[in-house]
Structure 1
Amino acid sequence: MSEMRPTVAISTDFLQAYATIPKAQQKKVMNFVTKFRNDPFSSGINYERINDARDANFRSVRIDQDYRGIVLSPEKGDVYVLLWVDKHDDAYAWARRHTCGVHPETGSLQLFEADSEVLTPERAPAVEVAQPPLFSLRERELLRIGVPHDRLARVKEVKTEEELERLETLLPKEAFEALYLIAAGSDPQEIIQEYAAKAEAVDTEDFATALTREQSQRSFHVVENDQELEAMLVAPLEKWRVFLHPSQRRLVHWRVNGPIRVLGGAGTGKTVVAMHRARWLVRHALSAPDRKVLFTTFTANLATDIAENLRKICSLEELERIEVVHIDAWVSRFLKRQNYPHQIVYDGNPQYEACWRAALDARPADPPLPESFYREEWDRVILPQRVTDRAQYFRAKRVGRGVPLTRAQRAALWSVFEELRIQLHQRGLKCSEDATQDAADLLASGKAYLPYDAVVVDEAQDMGPQVMRLIRLLVPPGANDIFIVGDGHQRIYRRRYTLRACGIEVRGRSRKLKINYRTTEETRRFAVAVLEGEPIDDLDGGEDSTSDYRSLVHGVPPTVRGFAGQEEELDWLAEQVRGLQQEGAELKDICVVARTNALVESYERGLRTRGSGCIRLSRKLADNRAQEGVRLATMHRIKGLEFRHVMLAAVNEGVIPLRQAIESSEDPTERRAGELTERALFHVAVTRAMSRVFISYFGQGSAFLVGPRSRSLS
Structure 2
Amino acid sequence: MKLLFYSKFFDSLIKLPKGVQRDVIKFQKKFRENSKSLGIHLEPISIFKDSSLRSARIDKIYRAIIKAPKSGDTYYLLWVDHHDKAYDWAKNKIFQWNENTESMQVFISPDEEKILPKVEATESKEKGLYRELEDKDLIRIGVPEILLPSVRKIMTLDDLEQIENYIPEDVFENLFYLADGAKIDSLISEIEEGKSNSESEDDQLKSINNQRNFIELTDDTLFNEILSGTLDKWKYYLHPSQRKLVSRDFSGTVKVTGGAGTGKTVVAIHRLKYLASKMNFGKKILFTTYTKALATNLTDLVKGFGIDTKDIVITNIDALVLQLAKEYKVFEEEIKVFEYSKIISAEEVWDKILESELVAYDKEFLMKEYRDIIIYHNVVSEKDYLRTSRVGRGKPLSRRQRKETWVLFEKYRSLNAKSNYLHKEEVMNRVSDYFNEKEIRPFAYCLVDELQDFSNVELRLIRSLVEEKSNDLFFVGDPLQKIYDKRINFSKVGINVRGKRSRRLRINYRTTEEIKKLAVSIIKDCHYDNFDGEEEEKAGYVSLFHGKKPMYTIFKSKNLEIDHVLNVINQILEIEVEDSEGQKRYKYKPSDIAVSARTKSGIKDFINAFHQNAIPYAVWEKGQRKGDEDGVNVMTFHNIKGFEFKHVFLVDVNNRSCPKRPFDFDLYTPQEQESYLRNEKSTLYVAVSRAVEHVEITGIGTKSEIVNV
What secondary structure sits across from 1:537 in the alignment? Answer: coil
Q: CA deviation at 1:510?
A: 1.0
Deviation at 1:217, TM superposition (A): 0.8
Superposed counterparts of 1:502-521, under 5 Å: 502-508=493-499, 509-521=501-513
RMSD: 2.9
User: Which residue pairs with 1:466 in the alignment?
Assistant: 457
Which position in structure 1 is the counterpart of 2:571?
A: 579
- The one-letter code sitting in structure 2 at the alignment partner of 1:290 is G
In the TM superposition, what whole-angstrom CA distance separates every residue of 1:490-539 from its partner, at most 9, and x where no partner exists? 11111102101110011222111122222222222221222222221011
Match of 1:357 among 333, 348, 351: 348
Instruction: Please report how far the alpha carbon of residue 668 of structure 1 lies from its aligned counterpart in structure 2 after TM superposition.
Output: 4.1
Alignment partner of 2:89 out of 77, 84, 94? 94
Provide the rounded CA distance (Å) in 1 between the counterparts of 2:58 and 2:358. Answer: 83
Is 2:180 the partner of 1:189?
A: no
Q: 2:257·2:503 contact (CA, 8 Å) conserved in 1?
A: yes
Following the alignment from structure 2 to structure 1, what is the Cα–Cα distance between the partners of residues 429 and 121? 71
C-alpha distance in 1, partners of 2:664/2:684?
A: 14
- Are the counterparts in 1 of residues 129 and 155 from structure 2 also a CA contact under 8 Å? yes
Structure 1 position 77, deviation (Å)? 4.1
Q: Whole-Å Cα distance in 2 between the matches of residues 619 and 35 of structure 1? A: 47
Matches within 5 A, 1:97-496: 97-118=92-113, 122-124=117-119, 132-135=127-130, 136-196=132-192, 198=195, 210-232=204-226, 234=228, 238-284=232-278, 286=279, 288-316=280-308, 319-339=309-329, 340=331, 341-347=333-339, 349-353=341-345, 355-363=346-354, 368-446=360-438, 448=440, 450=442, 452-496=443-487
1:628 paired residue among 614, 623, 630: 630
State the alpha-carbon separation in 1 of the partners of residues 591 and 403 from structure 2.
57
Counterpart secondary structure, 2:172: helix
Deviates more, 1:105-114 or 1:214-223: 105-114
Q: Distance in 2 between the 1:338 and 1:653 partners?
A: 50
- The alpha-carbon deviation at position 687 of structure 1 amounts to 0.9
Following the alignment from structure 2 to structure 1, what is the Cα–Cα distance between the partners of residues 337 and 11?
48
Establish whether residue 529 from structure 1 lines up as the match of residue 542 from structure 2: no
**What is the rounded CA distance, in whole Å, between the counterparts of 2:39 and 2:254 in structure 1?**
51
Question: Secondary structure of the equivalent of 1:646?
Answer: strand
Larger displacement relative to structure 2 (438-447 or 491-500): 438-447
- Alpha-carbon distance change, 543 to 126 in structure 1, aligned in 2, over 3 angstroms: closer
Which letter maps to 1:585? Y
Per the TM alignment, residue 325 of structure 1 is displaced from its structure 2 partner at its CA by 1.0
| CA–CA distance in structure 2, aligned partners of residues 16 and 308 of structure 1 | 23
Q: Does 1:590 align with 2:593?
A: yes
Specify the alignment match of 2:584 in structure 1: none
Aligned to 1:646: 648
Contact 1:267-1:687 at 8 Å conserved across structures: yes
- Stretches of structure 2 that go unaligned for 5 or more consecutive residues are 576-586
- Could you tell me how far apart the structure 2 residues matched to 1:14 and 1:126 are? 37
Tell me, yes or no, if the aligned pair for 1:99 and 1:114 is still in contact at 8 Å: yes
Q: CA deviation at 1:579?
A: 2.4
Letter in 2 for 1:455: C
Structure 1 SS opposite 2:488: coil
Change beyond 3 A, Cα 1:236–1:52? farther
Q: One-letter code of the match for 2:170?
A: E
Partner residue, 2:675:
673
How far apart are the structure 2 equivalents of 1:617 and 1:323?
A: 25
AA partner of residue 680 (structure 2): E
State the alpha-carbon separation in 1 of the partners of residues 664 and 530 from structure 2: 24
1:633-665 superposed Cα distances (whole Å, 9 cap, x missing partner): 222222222222211111133322233387396
User: Which letter does structure 2 place at the counterpart of 1:182?
Assistant: L
Quick one: structure 1 residues 622 and 629, their matched pair in 2 at CA, closer, same or farther if it must change by over 3 Å?
closer
C-alpha distance in structure 1 between counterparts of 2:164 and 2:117, whole Å? 15
Q: TM-score, normalised by structure 2?
A: 0.90
State the shift of 1:82 in Å.
Answer: 2.7
- The reply on whether 1:567 has 2:562 as its aligned counterpart is no
Q: Which residue of 1 aligns with 2:660?
A: 658
SS of 2:102 mapped into structure 1: coil
Shift in Å at residue 86 of structure 1? 3.0
- Change in Cα spacing, 1:700 to 1:419, as seen in structure 2 (3 Å) is farther
1:684 has 2:686 as partner: yes
Change (3 A) 1:232 1:184: farther
- Give the % identical residues: 32
Alignment partners' CA distance in 2, 1:138 and 1:263: 31
- SS of structure 2 residue aligned to 1:553: coil
Correspondence 1:693 to 2:688: no
Alignment-derived partner of residue 3 in structure 1:
none
1:92-120 Cα distance to aligned partner (Å, 9 max, x none): 11110212221233331122222512388
Q: Does 1:74 align with 2:64?
A: no
Query: What is the TM-score when the length of structure 1 is the normalising length?
Result: 0.89
TM-aligned CA distance change 1:401 to 1:66, over 3 Å? same
2:238 partner letter: L
Change (3 A) 1:395 1:652: same
Q: Secondary structure at the match of 1:295?
A: strand
Question: Structure 1 residue 454: deviation in Å?
Answer: 1.0
Q: How does 1:532-543 map to 2 (within 5 A)?
A: 532-543=524-535
Q: Are residues 400 and 300 of structure 1, via their aligned partners in 2, closer, same or farther at CA, if it must alter by over 3 Å?
A: same
**Aligned mates of 1:664, 1:297 — CA distance in 2:** 34
- SS of structure 2 residue aligned to 1:660: coil
| Letter of the structure 1 residue corresponding to residue 599 of structure 2 | T
- For the residues of structure 2 that align with 1:488 and 1:440, how far apart are their CA atoms? 25
Which of these residues, 25, 28, 31, is aligned with residue 37 of structure 1?
28
Native 8 Å contact 2:195 2:207 kept in 1 = no
**Structure 2: how far apart are the matches of 1:311 and 1:112?**
37
Secondary structure in structure 1 of the residue aligned to 2:353: coil
Instruction: List per-residue Cα deviations over 1:250-280 (Å, max 9, x = no partner).
Output: 1112312111111111111111111111111
Cα displacement string for residues 169-218 of structure 1 (whole angstroms, at most 9, x for unaligned residues): 22211112111110111112212221345467879xx6x65531211111
- Check if 1:27 corresponds to 2:23: no
Listed as ranges, the gaps of 5+ residues in structure 1 are: 1-5
Q: Quick one: distance in 2 between partners of 1:98 and 1:618?
A: 49
Give a deviation string over 1:295-349, Cα, whole Å, max 9, x none: 1111111111111111222343xx2222111111110001111233242424373
